[in-house]
Structure 1
């Protein structure tokens, strides 16, 4: 994770709007059968109100022909569908405004956006698990 943005939906509280800073770590390894990638990513978000939030996520990605083409540099510009990449996220911060993020259970579905000649983008839709 070397760049990117984080922005919550309009009705979410606390509103979160920031970008990744510094050099994150994004560990990816392939299962022995080659059918899944395992993710373990770490980064720091700096919000527009100058708070810092540490993000860690782990997850599983299905290795599809489309993803193989993207990662192998053989793809034309493409966007993969949601449904083949899922993560669990945790947050840590010393900022009281964002402390509630530490107590949630967070899951995300991701997909890949690839434009030939540009870095691959991974986009996640993140949800908080709740009960009623």
Structure 2
């Protein structure tokens, strides 16, 4: 029997993506009042979690985030696009759109403050999509993924990590 709680999708843990921040190119304030900064993401990995199918591991070989900061300073908008290549040599076009709540610890990172530190999951959420030619990976192209993100501060710089879950449609009909 359908209830007000039925019909909602569930989530299945699927992927962990890590992209390393490279060049930082501030664009400045644009027509809508947002401040845009282009962050290169030239390296990283995309890997499925244990038990998720289709299983694969890929290395990021190009990427960039056109990150826009809202005029009120409370949120930033992720617009990341990238290319990765699987261990079998197949390319994956990946996209990530999301929102970051600009808490003080997050602001320190984007302002490159000396006391910046890794921030936990809970400040950024997003949606991911993939375009692939490899028939073995078509399931990721034909699925919806949502994520939590965090920024890792380390001796070599910054890494953005997202943990993505596949959205599974509800089986109960209302």
* TM-score (ref. length: structure 2): 0.71
Aligned-pair CA distance for 1:3: 0.9
Instruction: Point out which structure has higher relative CO (alpha carbons under 8 A, 6+ apart).
Output: 2
Residue 78 in 1 paired to residue 94 in 2?
A: no
Unmatched segments (≥5 aa) in structure 2: 1-40
Q: Could you list the structure 1 runs, at least 4 aligned residues long, displaced by more than 6 angstroms after superposition.
A: none
**Alignment match, 2:27:** none
Q: Please state which structure has a larger fraction of its residues in strand.
A: 2
Q: Which has the larger radius of gyration?
A: 2
**Alignment match, 2:21:** none
1:110–1:123 CA contact under 8 A, matched in 2: yes
2:108–2:116 CA contact under 8 A, matched in 1: no
Unmatched segments (≥5 aa) in structure 1: none
User: What is the correspondence of 1:84-95 to structure 2 with a 5 Å cutoff?
Assistant: 84-95=123-134
C-alpha deviations, 1:51-72, integer Å up to 9, x for none?
A: 1110011110011111111221
* TM-score (ref. length: structure 1): 0.92
C-alpha deviations, 1:82-129, integer Å up to 9, x for none?
A: 1110110110011100011111110010011112x5321111110001
User: What is the correspondence of 1:1-132 to structure 2 with a 5 Å cutoff?
Assistant: 1-21=41-61, 23-76=62-115, 78-115=117-154, 117-130=155-168, 131-132=170-171
